[in-house]
Amino acid sequence: MPILSLITFLPIVGVIFILSIDSKKQELIRITSLLVSIVVFFISLPLYFNFDSHAYEMQFVEKLPWIPSFGINYYVGIDGVSLFLILLTTFITPLSILASWHITKSIKEYMIAMLVLETGMIGVFISLDLFLFYVFWELMLIPMYLLIGIWGGPRRIYAAVKFFIYTMAGSVFMLLAIIALYFLNFRATGEYTFNLLEYYRLDISFAVQFWLFLAFALAFAIKVPMFPFHTWLPDAHVEAPTAGSVILAGVLLKMGTYGFVRFCLPLFPEASHAFIPVISWMAIVGIIYGALVSMVQEDLKKLVAYSSVSHLGFVMLGIFAFNIQGIEGGITQMINHGLSTGALFLIVGMLYERRHTRMIADFGGLTRQIPVFATFFMIVTLSSIGLPGLNGFVGEFLILVGVFKSRILYASLATSGIILAAVYMLWMFQRVMFHEITHEENKTLKDMNKREWAILLPIVLMIFWIGIYPNSFLRKMDASVNHLLKQVGNKANVASNVRVQNKPEQLQEDATPKIDIVTETKTEW
Amino acid sequence: MVNTTIMTFNILSILPILVLAGFGMIVLVTDIVSSRKFGDKNYLAYISLLGIIIAAIFSRSSVGTALFSFSESFAIDNYSLFFNFIFLLSTGLTILISHSYIKREEINHGEYYALLLFSTIGMMLMASGADLLNIYIGLEVMSISIYILTGFKRSKLISNEASLKYFLLGAFATGFLLYGISIVYGTTGAINLKQIACFIAGKGGSSDPLLLMGMGLIIIGLGFKVASVPFHAWVPDVYEGAPTAITAFMSVGPKAAGFAAFLRIFMTAFGSTHYEWQKIIFILAVLTMTIGNVVAIAQTNIKRMLAYSSIAHAGYLLIALVAANNMGVSGTLFYIMAYVFMNIGAFAVVIVLSQKGDEFIQINDYAGLGYKHPLLAIAMTLFMLSMAGIPPMAGFVGKFYIFSAAMKSGYVGLAVIGVINSVISVYYYLRITVIMYMKEPTRDFQPLTISPLIVAAIVISVIGTLQLGIFPSKVMEIAQHSILTLK
């Protein structure tokens, strides 16, 4: 059964179905889209159970010719890196739809945007053809742009346009780099293809790698977002509706980090090594800067938004440690961040629905009024800080182990981010939840309703699962990450000053001739 | 199966042109004969559409041949046929969007349709011209018809002004073109493109300054027609003043015809000296894209915005000409096809939303459209995203094609400038969607009078935009087969 295509395009089928519903039947539209996304989630589960954790090759592969004259295929498949990101997407989407129940303005269009977004997101993670990848990568911009711009807060237009243009500006250079790879590959093999796995075998000279890496990295760094490309993020998060923020933080940002793992590292290993200091310092600055800025925020949503900059800095640092702990930690932390920060945005959204404010100063002493809510909030907060036993710890610990192995200085600096995280999260929690109730309105708050239980409970269960038994996740990644390290190590230059400890014997200089890109081609096409 | 037949006179080769000429005459005569009996002139639109369909059928039947008739001055090859389809498509769509528009603006005269058909003839001549004179004659036939159509709103000053501006500047441009042709003739002793190529090849790819001057003048003449900077000054005023349906036509048809001639002349006749003219076109491309896009940002009138956007698109197409490889030429064909759908589609929406006397064509008039007329707004959004080059729309595949061609020839810098321009263009295309969906309505939307024909035009454009974006394979292959006779 073509599971991957099914989960990618089922939301589109849902869209067609919703289009035929009268827009006045709001409840029916909501239920239909929720059902569609739940069905997608259940269809995606066999991906986990049938995934062969010993194989690094792509699994569940589907390949169909799409634009043969350009060598473009509909070519999809997953490995241990993308598996969990897809599951995260299919897991978060129904919860986001459930969290959008209160939306009444153009609900039909809203749900259509959500479902198209799901298609785009899954498409990004499964594409093994670079053209296809780019199409999904851009496709997903449109619904997100509409979600922020139509259903967002007061400065939504500014935020939406900024989001769109930032991302677009980054990705057009990636498009050119993709085209360059296309011709490089043709010159090396005589075959026109956008097949990523073919590109992995290319041998590219360092100078060309350098530029192509930059083009790809710009697109991904904006998406992550890494300091200093993060300025669109607080605007987008603050203005987006709750579900928009959840998906933005939960999945969209992961496309940047995923892009580094899937494209930058294996395609341009030497350049990646050369860029370790740059990327690592950007990540470290992001970690500390994000944490410090979070600390002074008065708006809950902004606080969570800036904490994302900090958390994603950890992910990047882990990936660029270039060892198994670092990368697996990075991938785990992508999932963790999706769950915890997603949950935090949901919680902020729930508070906002009750009080129509997000200012920390407007709350205080809520524990007495809404104890169950407070419990959930506490668990998620602790998970975000990285308390042992919860998911955040696993990711951060692995990342730090990985980074310590390669560069102690980076690791020591990054550790300060964890302390700062505890400061801003706990302080925020204290101000919102503890002390006396200072505002009259807060005395009449209602505790969680069934819908909110249904939203938060699955996330909290996942938080515990990953925290207590991470091996059920890590074991699925091992083969793929090992293979990735082999790819990076194999082609990388020995002169690079990074110790790739797992596979030292793989580090060999290759003798194959290098190709240069900017030369006149003789072969007419 | 390509069979090259050389005949001095082959009436069959110009059958589509004869059909259009015949139908043009029929329209004129029917209009005079019957105007007293029927006030309503619907049937003229149907007659013209019939003519276009028949011409398309005749064109279709010639696919696969490579026929150079009339002393090798007139080419019927897949290249000219591909362009024939583009011209017929754009004229057909124009007729569909004109039908209710010219009634509303009270300019419902039979000549309107006849002139549209005649200008299509001119375009076909340009695409089929295998010698410079034929191309020149085609250009004149096309231009003169459009000069008249631009001023068709006789009672409106702005329309008259546009027509006069277009005519005066256009006359100069054709003068340059003719001068260029005569210099090329003087240097090479030939007006036939292949003979010119032979002459240049005989000289071993000469850089005769006189020939260069001739090329330069031809670039000016054609650059004017495709609206490239710095020969673009007429575009905004003329586009704004012309009847909106004619603006739609003008932004597509003459541009396509101009590029058809551009490619045939420069690939066939001057192909071996490409390093000479590539530099000039390179500069033109950069200027055209950048000025078109940057100035478009500042526009408040949607017709003017689309005018500058059409300048920018000419810039992208010039990139393909600079690349001067097969990928670039077939990319141009594909891009123009995509451009026809998205641009005429956008103008169709503009027509539907405007009121008599071209009211409500400010961009701000679109505020809240997304809620009042969701389907129209979705269509407009698709066209805008397509022009901005966002997948999965046709415009993306077109840009991808053209930038690939540039990279292939090693023009990485040009491709970089191209994509930066795409990002700039996103800003103003996106602004339309911002205004439609994210702003509160500032005016009452009057109940729209939508004729089925214009709905058909919008539906065809939407389908074309999506089809060429999601399943572009078929048209790409046709485009690739269409360019084989150029060299």
The token pair that represents A418 in the structure block: 């964890």
Q: CB–CB of A234/A305 below 8 Å?
A: yes
- How much is the pLDDT for B368? 85
Pairing of strands B4-6, B74-76: unpaired
Write the DSSP symbol of residue B6: E
Residue where the block lists tokens 């093994």? A128
pLDDT at B95: 94
**Residue that wins the pLDDT comparison between A75 and B438:** A75
**Which residues on adjacent β-strands are paired with residue B131?**
B192
Task: Check pLDDT > 50 for residue B214.
Answer: yes
Predicted confidence band of residue B485 (pLDDT cuts 50, 70, 90): confident
Is B377:B458 a contact under the CB 8 Å cutoff?
A: no
How far from each other are the two terminal CA atoms of chain A, in whole angstroms? Answer: 37
Question: Which region holds residue A386: left if phi is over 0, alpha if psi is between -120 and 50, else beta?
Answer: left
Report the pLDDT averaged over residues B103-128: 91
Strand B66-69, strand B74-76: pairing: antiparallel
Residue B392: asked if its preceding bond is cis (omega within 30°), the reply is yes
- Phi and psi of B67, rounded to 5°? -115, 125
Nearest-angstrom CA–CA distance, B138 and B121:
7
**Nearest to residue A314, comparing CAs of A222, A214, A421?**
A421
Cβ-nearest to A520 among B374, B410, B423 = B410
Summarised one tens digit per residue, pLDDT across range B150-175 is: 999 888 899 999 999 999 999 999 99
pLDDT at B276: 84
Which residues on chain A are in Cβ contact (under 8 Å) with B380?
A: none
Q: Residue A264 gets which letter from DSSP? A: I
Out of B327, B400, B476, whose CB is closest to A525?
A: B327
Judged against a pLDDT cut of 70, whether residue A496 lies above it is answered with no
- Taking the C-alpha atoms of residue B109 and residue A342, their distance in angstroms, rounded to an integer, is 63
Of B410, B401, B389, the residue nearest B322 (C-alpha): B410
Alpha-carbon distance B422 to nearest alpha carbon in chain A (angstroms): 8
What ipTM was predicted for this assembly? 0.91
Helix axes A80-98, A324-355, angle to 10 degrees: 0
Q: How many helices (H) and strands (E) does chain B have?
A: 19, 3
pLDDT of A125 > 80? The answer is yes
Q: Which of A3-12, A362-371, A499-508, B450-459 has the lowest mean pLDDT?
A: A499-508
Give residue A489's pLDDT: 79
Q: How many residues does chain B have?
A: 487
Question: How would you classify the pairing of strands A59-67 and A72-78?
Answer: antiparallel
Residue A471 to residues A53, A391, A475, A478, A483: CA-CA distances in angstroms? Answer: 12, 12, 6, 10, 18
What do you get for the CA distance between the two ends of chain B, in Å? 18
User: B71: which residues sit within 8 A by CB, 6+ positions away?
Assistant: B8
Residues of chain A contacting residue B325, judged by C-beta atoms under 8 Å apart: 521, 524-525
User: A349 with A453: CB under 8 angstroms?
Assistant: no
Query: Which chain B residues contact residue A160 at CB under 8 A?
Result: 434, 438
Q: How far apart are CA B383 and CA B460, in angstroms?
A: 12
Q: Would you say how long chain A is, in residues? A: 525
Q: Judge whether A453 is closer than 8 Å to chain B, CB to CB.
A: no
For B281-326, write each residue's pLDDT tens digit.
999 999 999 999 999 999 999 999 999 999 999 999 999 999 989 9
pLDDT score of A512: 39
> Which residues of chain B make contact with A182, given a CB cutoff of 8 A?
404
pLDDT given for residue A509 in this prediction: 39
Strand partners, B368: none
From chain A, the residues in CB contact with B416 under 8 A are 173, 176
Alpha-carbon distance B219 to nearest alpha carbon in chain A (angstroms): 25
Alpha-carbon distance of B434 to A248, in angstroms, equals 20
Residue type, B131: D
φ, ψ for residue B159 (rounded to 5)? -70, -40
A19 vs B: CB within 8 A: no
Give pLDDT, residue B343. Answer: 95
Residue among B83, B482, B79, B486 nearest B271 (CA):
B486
Element (H, E) at B82: helix B78-104
Return the percent helix, strand and coil in chain A, to nearest 5. 75, 5, 20
Give A358's pLDDT tier (boundaries 50, 70, 90).
confident
DSSP per position, A211-247:
HHHHHHHHHHHHHTTPTTS-THHHHHHHHS-HHHHHH
Band (pLDDT 50/70/90 cuts) for residue B67 is confident
**Phi, psi at residue B355, to the nearest 5°?**
-110, 175
Q: Give CA–CA dist A23/A377, Å, rounded.
A: 35
Put simply, the answer to whether A164 touches B430 (Cβ < 8 Å) is yes
Shortest alpha-carbon distance between residue B421 and chain A (Å): 10
% of chain A residues with pLDDT over 90: 62
Statement: residue A214 has pLDDT above 70: yes
Asked if A150 lies within 8 A of B412 by C-beta distance, the reply is no
Check B420 against A160: CB less than 8 A apart: no
Banded model confidence at residue A498, pLDDT cuts 50, 70, 90: very low
Q: Pick the most confident of B194-208, B364-378, B415-429.
A: B415-429
SS (H, E, C) A56-112: CCCEEEEEEEEEHHHCEEEEEEECHHHHHHHHHHHHHHHHHHHCCCCCCCCHHHHHH
Amino acid identity, residue B173?
Answer: A
Q: Using CA atoms, how far apart are residues B312 and B418, in angstroms rounded to an integer?
A: 10
Q: What pLDDT was estimated at residue B3?
A: 47
Whether the pLDDT of residue B35 is over 60: the answer is yes
Sign, CA torsion B353/B356/B362/B367 = negative
- The pLDDT of residue A268 is 93
Return the sign of the alpha-carbon dihedral for residues A461, A462, A465, A468: negative
Determine the distance in angstroms separating the CA of A367 from the nearest CA of chain B, rounded to an integer: 38
Note whether A150 contacts B430, CB cutoff 8 Å. no
**Looking at the complex, does the CB of residue A214 fall below 8 Å from at least one CB of chain B?**
no
Do residue A146 and residue B409 have CB atoms under 8 angstroms apart?
no
d(Cα A99, Cα B296) in Å, to the nearest integer? Answer: 40
A228: preceding bond cis by omega (within 30 degrees): yes
- pLDDT for the residue numbered A490: 59
3-state class (DSSP) for residue A507:
coil
What band does B271 get if pLDDT is binned at 50, 70 and 90?
A: confident
CB within 8 A of B452, min separation 6: which ones? none
Report how far residue A227's alpha carbon sits from residue A230's, in angstroms, rounded to the nearest whole number.
Answer: 5
CB atoms within 10 A of CB A235: 23
Confidence of residue A154 (pLDDT cuts 50, 70, 90): confident
Q: Buried b / exposed e across B416-445, counting CB within 10 Å, b at 16+?
A: bbbbbbbbbbbbbbbbbbbbbbbeeeeeeb
Q: How do residues B11-24 score in pLDDT, each as one tens digit? A: 777 889 999 999 99
Question: How do residues A428-453 score in pLDDT, each as one tens digit?
Answer: 999 888 888 887 777 888 888 888 89
Angle at the Cα of B328 from the Cα atoms of B400 and B341, rounded to 5 degrees? 60
In eight-state DSSP terms, residue B74 is E
C-alpha span between B465 and A472 (Å, rounded): 46
